Amino acid sequence: MGRAARILVGFKESETVTLSECAAQLGIAKSMAHRLLTTLAEYDLVAFDPKVKAYRIGPSILSIARSVTEGPSISELIGPLVREAADLTHETITFCKIQGDRGVCVAFADSPHAMRLTVSNGDEYALNAGAIGKCLLAYQADGFLEELAASGNIRRYTENTVVEPARLRKEIETIRAQGFAFSREEMTPGASSIGVPVLEGDGPVRFCLAASGPALRVDDRKDEIASVLVDIAKRISSLVGQRRPEEIIKET
């Protein structure tokens, strides 16, 4: 083990090491050096480069280095909390970021019920329809709604979808006042959703947490579900607040 560690530490001085150099550095026979290098290569800690006929640092070392310098991704950080929200509400939970004029799913956890809404990472959501979109919309800078309307990216999905800017403005006021967004059949017939912002100071909201499920199961429990989501969102806020904005943008 000590000799293997010395081989790896030796890459601090040189990008490559030949079999002969390795044996000489360790003061061992080439056959022994070859066995050590072969074992390290099996775990991708080193890799043989046939062009220079020497060994280089392997992909596992590079992966470990990235983990140490960058830390866990946002989805890895908040994943357990998203799962906890699903366990507590018994509904499908979606964690989304705002990207341009859309909401994008970054992490999710399925409801344990057989009858549930299904989502996937990368799913996109309009900002004028559903609790996810309206929650993100409600906490943007002044003038954002007007720009969204002018862009023509407000569309109707069902007869309950709000498309008029004036009505959306009232929705924003309600969401800010009560602290969560509620949607009933605005995107999917028979489905309801509740969304809460992940607050990080006074700037525009970047993330929201939402619970979705059949209206017959969600509607009567919306205050209860919202309370759970608000608590989880506060805990998520403390995690994402520890990461630099550019890290989050890159990761998600």
**Is 90 exceeded by the pLDDT of residue 89?**
yes
- SS3 of residue 192 by DSSP: strand
CB count, 10 Å around CB of 217?
A: 17
pLDDT for the residue numbered 73 = 63
Catalogue all structural domains in the chain, each as residue range(s) with its CATH number.
Answer: 2-70 (1.10.10.10), 74-251 (3.30.450.40)
Using one digit for the tens of pLDDT, what is the confidence trace for 145-174? 999 988 888 889 999 999 999 999 999 999
Using one digit for the tens of pLDDT, what is the confidence trace for 22-77? 888 888 898 988 888 888 888 888 888 888 889 988 887 766 665 554 455 666 77
Using one digit for the tens of pLDDT, what is the confidence trace for 10-20? 887 888 889 99
For residue 35, which amino acid is it? Answer: R
Which pTM does this prediction carry? 0.67
R_g of the chain computed on alpha carbons: 26
- SS3 of residue 80 by DSSP: helix
Instruction: Tell whether the torsion through CA atoms of 160, 166, 168 and 170 is positive or negative.
Output: negative
CB count, 10 Å around CB of 234?
A: 12
Among 125, 218, 138, 207, residue whose Cα is nearest residue 178: 138
